[in-house]
Amino acid sequence: MSINPSLEKELMNDLRELNQNEQDAIRVFCAMYENSCENLKNEKLESLEKSLIEQIKFYGRKKNEYSEDIRQIMEKYGQLMAQLLQMYHTWLGAIILDLQDVYNNQKIAIANAKISIGLSHEGKKLASEEKINNYEIVAQECKRQMADCKDKMNSHLNEIFYEKDKSLSTKKGNIFQKFMNIFSGKSKVNHFVIAAMNQEINDLEDKVKAECENMENWVIEQIAMLENAILQTQELFNNRLKEYGYYES
Amino acid sequence: MNHSLGEIFYHGKIVNLSLAEPQELENMWQELEENQVIKKEAIKVCLNRMREEA
Protein backbone atom coordinates (compact mmCIF):
# COMPACT_ATOMS: atom_id res chain seq x y z
CA MET A 1 0.00 0.00 0.00
CA SER A 2 1.46 3.37 -0.92
CA ILE A 3 1.38 6.53 1.14
CA ASN A 4 0.11 9.77 -0.31
CA PRO A 5 3.32 11.67 -1.32
CA SER A 6 1.96 15.02 -0.16
CA LEU A 7 1.28 13.57 3.33
CA GLU A 8 4.76 12.07 3.36
CA LYS A 9 6.20 15.47 2.47
CA GLU A 10 4.11 17.12 5.18
CA LEU A 11 5.38 14.62 7.74
CA MET A 12 9.00 15.22 6.75
CA ASN A 13 8.51 18.99 7.04
CA ASP A 14 6.89 18.60 10.46
CA LEU A 15 9.77 16.40 11.63
CA ARG A 16 12.35 18.87 10.36
CA GLU A 17 10.61 21.80 12.05
CA LEU A 18 10.17 19.82 15.26
CA ASN A 19 13.86 19.00 15.28
CA GLN A 20 14.82 22.67 14.81
CA ASN A 21 12.41 23.69 17.51
CA GLU A 22 13.76 21.15 20.01
CA GLN A 23 17.37 22.15 19.37
CA ASP A 24 16.56 25.87 19.67
CA ALA A 25 14.66 25.28 22.93
CA ILE A 26 17.67 23.46 24.41
CA ARG A 27 19.99 26.31 23.41
CA VAL A 28 17.65 28.93 24.84
CA PHE A 29 17.38 26.97 28.09
CA CYS A 30 21.20 26.78 28.31
CA ALA A 31 21.36 30.54 27.79
CA MET A 32 18.84 31.07 30.61
CA TYR A 33 20.83 28.75 32.85
CA GLU A 34 24.17 30.41 32.09
CA ASN A 35 22.67 33.87 32.62
CA SER A 36 21.44 32.76 35.98
CA CYS A 37 24.86 31.37 36.98
CA GLU A 38 26.74 34.45 35.83
CA ASN A 39 24.36 36.87 37.56
CA LEU A 40 24.47 34.95 40.82
CA LYS A 41 28.27 34.67 40.78
CA ASN A 42 28.67 38.37 40.04
CA GLU A 43 26.16 39.38 42.73
CA LYS A 44 27.97 37.27 45.34
CA LEU A 45 31.40 38.60 44.40
CA GLU A 46 30.24 42.22 44.36
CA SER A 47 28.55 41.71 47.70
CA LEU A 48 31.72 40.20 49.20
CA GLU A 49 33.90 43.03 47.90
CA LYS A 50 31.48 45.64 49.23
CA SER A 51 31.41 43.95 52.63
CA LEU A 52 35.22 43.79 52.87
CA ILE A 53 35.63 47.43 51.87
CA GLU A 54 32.98 48.58 54.38
CA GLN A 55 34.74 46.71 57.19
CA ILE A 56 38.15 48.08 56.21
CA LYS A 57 36.71 51.62 56.20
CA PHE A 58 35.10 51.02 59.59
CA TYR A 59 38.56 50.46 61.06
CA GLY A 60 39.73 53.70 59.48
CA ARG A 61 41.89 52.11 56.80
CA LYS A 62 41.96 52.59 53.04
CA LYS A 63 40.92 49.80 50.71
CA ASN A 64 44.03 50.31 48.53
CA GLU A 65 46.21 49.04 51.38
CA TYR A 66 44.40 45.70 51.19
CA SER A 67 43.79 45.36 47.47
CA GLU A 68 45.96 42.23 47.20
CA ASP A 69 44.23 40.59 50.18
CA ILE A 70 40.82 41.45 48.70
CA ARG A 71 41.86 40.06 45.32
CA GLN A 72 43.05 36.79 46.84
CA ILE A 73 39.91 36.36 48.96
CA MET A 74 37.64 37.04 46.00
CA GLU A 75 39.58 34.66 43.81
CA LYS A 76 39.20 31.82 46.33
CA TYR A 77 35.54 32.65 46.86
CA GLY A 78 34.96 32.58 43.09
CA GLN A 79 36.78 29.24 42.81
CA LEU A 80 34.56 27.71 45.50
CA MET A 81 31.42 28.91 43.72
CA ALA A 82 32.76 27.49 40.45
CA GLN A 83 33.41 24.16 42.17
CA LEU A 84 29.80 23.89 43.31
CA LEU A 85 28.48 25.12 39.96
CA GLN A 86 30.51 22.46 38.16
CA MET A 87 28.28 19.79 39.74
CA TYR A 88 25.21 21.46 38.29
CA HIS A 89 26.87 21.92 34.86
CA THR A 90 27.66 18.19 34.84
CA TRP A 91 24.10 17.33 35.79
CA LEU A 92 22.59 19.62 33.15
CA GLY A 93 24.99 18.33 30.48
CA ALA A 94 24.02 14.72 31.23
CA ILE A 95 20.28 15.53 31.13
CA ILE A 96 20.67 17.28 27.78
CA LEU A 97 22.56 14.30 26.30
CA ASP A 98 19.72 12.02 27.39
CA LEU A 99 17.11 14.42 26.05
CA GLN A 100 18.86 14.51 22.66
CA ASP A 101 18.85 10.73 22.69
CA VAL A 102 15.12 10.68 23.49
CA TYR A 103 14.34 13.21 20.75
CA ASN A 104 16.30 11.18 18.17
CA ASN A 105 14.70 7.88 19.19
CA GLN A 106 11.26 9.46 19.14
CA LYS A 107 11.76 10.63 15.57
CA ILE A 108 12.97 7.17 14.54
CA ALA A 109 9.79 5.75 16.11
CA ILE A 110 7.70 8.25 14.10
CA ALA A 111 9.48 7.17 10.90
CA ASN A 112 8.89 3.51 11.82
CA ALA A 113 5.19 4.20 12.41
CA LYS A 114 4.98 5.72 8.93
CA ILE A 115 6.78 2.73 7.34
CA SER A 116 4.46 0.33 9.21
CA ILE A 117 1.43 2.16 7.81
CA GLY A 118 2.88 1.84 4.30
CA LEU A 119 3.43 -1.89 4.83
CA SER A 120 0.03 -2.32 6.55
CA HIS A 121 1.75 -3.71 9.66
CA GLU A 122 -0.86 -2.62 12.17
CA GLY A 123 0.89 -4.24 15.14
CA LYS A 124 4.20 -2.52 14.40
CA LYS A 125 2.40 0.76 13.94
CA LEU A 126 0.66 0.43 17.31
CA ALA A 127 3.93 -0.54 19.01
CA SER A 128 5.70 2.45 17.40
CA GLU A 129 2.95 4.83 18.49
CA GLU A 130 3.21 3.55 22.03
CA LYS A 131 6.97 4.06 21.83
CA ILE A 132 6.48 7.65 20.63
CA ASN A 133 4.22 8.34 23.63
CA ASN A 134 6.61 6.68 26.08
CA TYR A 135 9.54 8.71 24.78
CA GLU A 136 7.37 11.78 25.32
CA ILE A 137 7.04 10.87 29.01
CA VAL A 138 10.85 10.49 29.27
CA ALA A 139 11.36 13.82 27.44
CA GLN A 140 9.07 15.55 29.95
CA GLU A 141 11.05 14.04 32.82
CA CYS A 142 14.28 15.34 31.22
CA LYS A 143 12.73 18.81 31.06
CA ARG A 144 11.53 18.57 34.65
CA GLN A 145 15.10 17.72 35.71
CA MET A 146 16.48 20.61 33.66
CA ALA A 147 14.18 23.05 35.48
CA ASP A 148 15.00 21.37 38.79
CA CYS A 149 18.73 21.69 38.07
CA LYS A 150 18.37 25.44 37.42
CA ASP A 151 16.25 26.01 40.55
CA LYS A 152 18.47 23.91 42.79
CA MET A 153 21.61 25.61 41.48
CA ASN A 154 20.06 28.94 42.36
CA SER A 155 18.94 28.04 45.88
CA HIS A 156 22.09 26.03 46.68
CA LEU A 157 24.38 28.90 45.73
CA ASN A 158 22.24 31.34 47.72
CA GLU A 159 22.26 29.04 50.73
CA ILE A 160 26.05 28.57 50.88
CA PHE A 161 27.28 31.87 49.50
CA TYR A 162 24.87 34.26 51.18
CA GLU A 163 25.19 37.93 50.39
CA LYS A 164 27.91 39.22 52.65
CA ASP A 165 27.06 42.90 52.61
CA LYS A 166 23.41 42.23 53.53
CA SER A 167 24.33 39.97 56.44
CA LEU A 168 26.70 42.53 57.92
CA SER A 169 25.21 44.63 60.68
CA THR A 170 26.11 48.23 60.04
CA LYS A 171 28.78 49.35 62.40
CA LYS A 172 28.94 53.04 63.09
CA GLY A 173 32.04 54.20 64.87
CA ASN A 174 31.93 57.09 67.30
CA ILE A 175 34.67 59.70 67.57
CA PHE A 176 36.57 57.76 70.26
CA GLN A 177 36.57 54.57 68.18
CA LYS A 178 37.77 56.51 65.18
CA PHE A 179 40.57 57.96 67.32
CA MET A 180 41.57 54.50 68.56
CA ASN A 181 41.57 53.14 65.02
CA ILE A 182 44.50 55.43 64.25
CA PHE A 183 46.62 53.20 66.50
CA SER A 184 45.00 49.79 66.15
CA GLY A 185 43.04 49.91 62.86
CA LYS A 186 45.64 48.01 60.89
CA SER A 187 45.85 45.08 63.30
CA LYS A 188 42.07 45.02 63.63
CA VAL A 189 41.62 44.81 59.86
CA ASN A 190 44.19 42.01 59.70
CA HIS A 191 42.57 40.14 62.56
CA PHE A 192 38.83 40.84 62.25
CA VAL A 193 38.51 41.22 58.50
CA ILE A 194 41.25 39.48 56.50
CA ALA A 195 42.09 36.60 58.84
CA ALA A 196 38.41 36.11 59.71
CA MET A 197 37.46 35.96 56.06
CA ASN A 198 40.29 33.54 55.25
CA GLN A 199 39.05 31.32 58.07
CA GLU A 200 35.53 31.52 56.66
CA ILE A 201 36.89 30.49 53.26
CA ASN A 202 38.65 27.50 54.83
CA ASP A 203 35.34 26.45 56.40
CA LEU A 204 33.57 27.00 53.08
CA GLU A 205 36.12 24.76 51.35
CA ASP A 206 35.13 21.86 53.61
CA LYS A 207 31.45 22.63 53.21
CA VAL A 208 31.61 22.85 49.40
CA LYS A 209 33.60 19.61 49.26
CA ALA A 210 31.00 17.81 51.39
CA GLU A 211 28.11 19.28 49.38
CA CYS A 212 29.72 18.19 46.09
CA GLU A 213 30.25 14.66 47.41
CA ASN A 214 26.61 14.42 48.51
CA MET A 215 25.39 15.83 45.24
CA GLU A 216 27.50 13.52 43.12
CA ASN A 217 25.57 10.43 44.23
CA TRP A 218 22.26 12.21 43.86
CA VAL A 219 23.10 13.33 40.29
CA ILE A 220 24.19 9.80 39.37
CA GLU A 221 20.81 8.51 40.63
CA GLN A 222 18.87 11.10 38.64
CA ILE A 223 20.72 10.33 35.41
CA ALA A 224 20.48 6.57 35.98
CA MET A 225 16.72 7.03 36.30
CA LEU A 226 16.56 8.72 32.88
CA GLU A 227 18.81 6.17 31.23
CA ASN A 228 16.79 3.34 32.70
CA ALA A 229 13.59 4.90 31.36
CA ILE A 230 15.15 5.05 27.86
CA LEU A 231 16.13 1.36 28.09
CA GLN A 232 12.69 0.41 29.42
CA THR A 233 11.02 2.19 26.51
CA GLN A 234 13.02 0.12 24.03
CA GLU A 235 12.39 -3.08 25.98
CA LEU A 236 8.66 -2.41 26.11
CA PHE A 237 8.66 -1.87 22.35
CA ASN A 238 10.45 -5.19 21.77
CA ASN A 239 7.95 -6.96 24.04
CA ARG A 240 5.04 -5.43 22.14
CA LEU A 241 6.53 -6.63 18.85
CA LYS A 242 6.78 -10.13 20.33
CA GLU A 243 3.15 -9.91 21.48
CA TYR A 244 2.11 -8.94 17.95
CA GLY A 245 4.07 -11.88 16.59
CA TYR A 246 6.95 -10.05 14.92
CA TYR A 247 9.72 -11.72 16.94
CA GLU A 248 10.35 -15.26 18.08
CA SER A 249 10.41 -15.13 21.91
CA MET B 1 28.78 36.19 29.72
CA ASN B 2 32.19 34.65 29.25
CA HIS B 3 31.55 33.00 25.94
CA SER B 4 29.11 33.11 23.07
CA LEU B 5 25.99 30.98 23.33
CA GLY B 6 25.38 31.24 19.63
CA GLU B 7 22.43 32.50 17.69
CA ILE B 8 19.01 31.23 16.76
CA PHE B 9 16.66 32.24 13.99
CA TYR B 10 13.53 33.42 15.75
CA HIS B 11 10.49 35.20 14.30
CA GLY B 12 12.36 36.07 11.14
CA LYS B 13 15.42 37.52 12.82
CA ILE B 14 18.72 36.30 14.18
CA VAL B 15 18.88 36.45 17.99
CA ASN B 16 22.25 36.41 19.71
CA LEU B 17 21.55 34.36 22.84
CA SER B 18 24.43 35.94 24.78
CA LEU B 19 22.87 39.37 24.33
CA ALA B 20 19.21 38.48 24.89
CA GLU B 21 17.44 39.80 28.00
CA PRO B 22 16.36 37.19 30.61
CA GLN B 23 12.67 37.88 29.99
CA GLU B 24 13.19 37.61 26.24
CA LEU B 25 14.86 34.20 26.73
CA GLU B 26 12.07 33.05 29.02
CA ASN B 27 9.42 34.06 26.45
CA MET B 28 11.34 32.38 23.64
CA TRP B 29 11.68 29.18 25.62
CA GLN B 30 7.97 29.09 26.50
CA GLU B 31 7.02 29.64 22.89
CA LEU B 32 9.43 27.00 21.57
CA GLU B 33 8.06 24.50 24.08
CA GLU B 34 4.46 25.30 23.08
CA ASN B 35 5.37 24.96 19.40
CA GLN B 36 6.78 21.50 20.05
CA VAL B 37 3.41 20.38 21.44
CA ILE B 38 1.63 21.80 18.37
CA LYS B 39 4.12 20.18 16.00
CA LYS B 40 3.82 16.79 17.69
CA GLU B 41 0.03 17.01 17.47
CA ALA B 42 0.35 17.81 13.75
CA ILE B 43 2.56 14.72 13.32
CA LYS B 44 -0.07 12.52 15.02
CA VAL B 45 -2.79 13.94 12.76
CA CYS B 46 -0.58 13.33 9.73
CA LEU B 47 0.03 9.68 10.71
CA ASN B 48 -3.71 9.16 11.24
CA ARG B 49 -4.49 10.60 7.83
CA MET B 50 -1.88 8.30 6.29
CA ARG B 51 -3.54 5.32 7.93
CA GLU B 52 -7.01 6.40 6.82
CA GLU B 53 -5.84 6.89 3.25
CA ALA B 54 -3.74 3.72 3.10
Question: pLDDT of A22-51, one tens digit each?
Answer: 999 999 999 999 999 999 999 999 999 999
Portion of chain B with pLDDT greater than 70, in percent? 93
**Cβ neighbours of B25 in A, within 8 Å:** 28, 31-32, 35
Under DSSP, is residue A60 helix (H, G, I), strand (E, B) or coil?
Answer: coil
| Per-residue pLDDT tens over the stretch A169-217 | 555 566 666 666 666 778 888 888 899 999 999 999 999 999 999 999 9
**Cβ neighbours of B37 in A, within 8 Å:** none
Residue B34 falls inside a structural domain: yes
Q: Rounded to 10 degrees, what is the CA torsion of A17, A22, A25, A31?
A: -120
**Cβ neighbours of B18 in A, within 8 Å:** 31
pLDDT at A174: 67
Residue from A28, A107, A133 to probe the interface with B (highest B Cβ count within 10 Å): A28
Q: How many domains, in total, are found in chain B? A: 1
Residue B6 falls inside a structural domain: no
| Per-residue pLDDT tens over the stretch A115-150 | 999 999 999 999 999 999 999 999 999 999 999 999
Residue B1 falls inside a structural domain: no
Expressed as residue numbers, the domain containing B53 is 21-54
CA pair distance A154, A148, nearest whole angstrom: 10
Residue B46 falls inside a structural domain: yes
Residue B35 falls inside a structural domain: yes
Model confidence, pTM? 0.89
CA pair distance B7, A10, nearest whole angstrom: 27
Query: Which H/E stretch holds residue A165?
Result: helix A164-167
Inter-chain contact A35–B25, Cβ cutoff 8 Å? yes
Specify the length of chain A in residues: 249
| Chain A closest-CA separation from residue B14 CA (Å) | 12
pLDDT at B1: 37
Q: What is the mean pLDDT of residues A78-104?
A: 97
Under DSSP, is residue A1 helix (H, G, I), strand (E, B) or coil?
Answer: coil
pLDDT at A189: 86
Residue from A6, A14, A135 to probe the interface with B (highest B Cβ count within 10 Å): A14
Is the pLDDT assigned to residue A238 strictly greater than 70? yes
Chain A interface, Cβ < 8 Å to B: 1-4, 7-8, 10-11, 14-15, 17-18, 21-22, 24-25, 27-32, 34-35, 38, 110, 113-114, 117-118, 120, 125, 129, 136, 143
Inter-chain contact A7–B36, Cβ cutoff 8 Å? no
Q: Which residues are CB-contacts of A242 (< 8 A; sequence separation ≥ 6)?
A: A249
CB A178 within 8 A of CB A60: yes
pLDDT at A231: 97
Is the pLDDT assigned to residue B3 strictly greater than 90? no
Residue B10 falls inside a structural domain: no
Is the pLDDT assigned to residue B2 strictly greater than 50? no
Residue B54 falls inside a structural domain: yes
Inter-chain contact B53–A29, Cβ cutoff 8 Å? no
Residue B42's Cβ-side half-sphere holds a number of Cα atoms within 13 Å equal to: 18
CA pair distance A237, A116, nearest whole angstrom: 14
pLDDT at A1: 64
pLDDT at A172: 58
Is the pLDDT assigned to residue A92 strictly greater than 60? yes
CB A84 within 8 A of CB A208: yes
pLDDT at A154: 95
Residue B27 falls inside a structural domain: yes
Q: What is the mean pLDDT of chain A?
A: 91
In sequence order, the β-bridge partners of residue B8 are B15
Q: What is the mean pLDDT of residues A157-162?
A: 90
